[in-house]
C-alpha cells in the first residue's frame, strides 16, 4: 500500500520571546526559507500550518511565492491546525516539523520515516527534549493521521493542544513511542542547541550560517558549531 507522507511545518510570526522570528534573516535568507528549503529536501510533500492572524499573512504570501501549500487556523489550537492541514493535504503519515528549526535535517526526517514504516509505533521521534543525547534543532516527529485524529478526539487541555503530541508523552503507558537514535552519535559531552527561540539563539544561528550553506549536512553543521565554540 502506498501511503501519502507529508511534512507539516508549524510556524507563526507572533512568538512572545522573539517576535517576527520567522522573517529574521540568517545569512541573507529568512528563517522560514531555511526551514522550508531543508524540509523540502527530505523529498516529501511539505505544507505550512500557520495562524489566521494578520501578522501571518507574510508567511502565507511567502508560501504562495514558493508554490507551497499553506493551511491557516487557530493560533493556540496547534493540534487542530495539524489535523486540518493533514486533511487538506490528504496525508496518511504526518511528519511534524517545528518552524524554530532552521537547520532541520532532511536525512534525519527520512530516517525517522523509515523507522516509523518498519515499526508498529504511534510516534517516532528524534528530537529533544525527549532525550538529552540528541542535538536540539535537527529532528522531527512522525505519526499517522489516525493517531492525530485520536489525539484530537481525546480530552486534552489547552496546553496539550498547543503542544500537539504532548499528551502521548505524558501518557506513554497508553502509546508506543520509539526514538530514532541516528542523531545521538553527534553528541559527546556538551549539549548542542540549534533551534531558535531567543535573540541569543538567533545570533548563534547567524554566526553558524557564516560557515555553512542551506544544504549542509548534519556533520558539516555540527563541525562548524563546535569550531565556533558557541
Q: Cα–Cα distance between 94 and 39 in angstroms, integer?
A: 13
pLDDT, tens only, 127-169: 866 666 788 899 999 999 999 999 999 878 999 999 999 999 9
Q: Cα–Cα distance between 114 and 112 in angstroms, integer?
A: 5
Q: So what's the pLDDT on residue 20?
A: 94
Q: So what's the pLDDT on residue 151?
A: 95
Q: Cα–Cα distance between 47 and 73 in angstroms, integer?
A: 13
Closest by Cα among 69, 74, 23 to 52: 74
pLDDT, tens only, 47-90: 999 999 999 999 999 999 999 999 999 999 999 999 999 999 99
Q: Cα–Cα distance between 118 and 108 in angstroms, integer?
A: 15
Q: So what's the pLDDT on residue 129?
A: 65
Residues 73/81, Cβ–Cβ less than 8 Å? yes
Closest by Cα among 210, 215, 208, 209 to 229: 208
Q: So what's the pLDDT on residue 189?
A: 55
CATH dotted code for 5-228 = 3.90.550.10
- The mean per-residue pLDDT over the stretch 36-51 comes to 98
CA–CA distances in Å: residue 52 to residues 55, 76, 101: 8, 11, 22
Report the mean per-residue pLDDT for the chain. Answer: 93
Q: So what's the pLDDT on residue 134?
A: 81
> In the structure grid, which three cell numbers stand for residue 32, read together?
522560514
- The mean per-residue pLDDT over the stretch 106-116 comes to 97
Q: Would the pLDDT of 230 be above 60?
A: no
Amino acid at each position: 500500500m502506498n501511503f501519502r507522507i507529508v511534512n507539516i511545518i508549524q510556524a507563526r510570526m507572533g512568538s512572545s520571546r522573539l517576535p517576527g522570528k520567522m522573517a529574521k534573516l540568517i545569512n541573507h535568507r529568512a528563517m522560514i526559507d531555511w526551514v522550508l528549503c531543508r524540509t523540502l529536501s527530505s523529498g516529501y510533500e511539505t505544507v505550512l500550518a500557520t495562524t489566521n492572524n494578520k501578522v501571518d499573512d507574510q508567511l502565507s504570501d511567502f508560501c504562495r511565492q514558493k508554490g507551497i501549500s499553506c493551511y491557516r487556523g487557530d493560533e493556540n489550537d496547534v493540534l487542530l491546525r495539524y489535523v486540518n492541514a493533514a486533511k487538506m493535504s490528504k496525508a496518511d503519515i504526518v511528519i511534524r516539523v517545528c518552524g524554530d528549526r532552521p537547520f532541520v535535517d532532511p536525512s534525519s526526517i527520512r530516517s525517522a520515516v523509515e523507522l516509523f514504516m518498519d515499526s508498529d509505533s504511534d510516534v517516532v521521534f528524534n528530537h529533544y527534549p525527549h532525550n538529552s543525547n540528541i542535538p536540539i534543532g535537527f529532528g522531527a516527529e512522525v505519526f499517522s493521521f489516525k493517531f492525530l485524529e485520536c489525539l484530537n478526539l481525546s480530552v486534552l487541555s489547552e496546553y496539550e493542544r498547543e503542544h500537539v503530541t504532548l499528551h502521548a508523552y505524558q501518557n506513554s503507558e497508553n502509546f508506543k513511542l520509539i526514538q530514532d537514535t541516528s542523531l545521538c552519535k553527534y553528541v559527546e559531552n556538551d549539549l548542542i542547541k540549534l533551534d531558535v527561540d531567543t535573540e541569543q539563539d538567533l545570533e548563534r544561528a547567524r554566526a553558524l550560517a557564516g560557515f555553512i550553506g542551506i544544504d549542509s549536512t548534519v556533520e558539516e553543521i555540527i563541525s562548524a558549531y563546535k569550531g565556533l565554540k558557541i
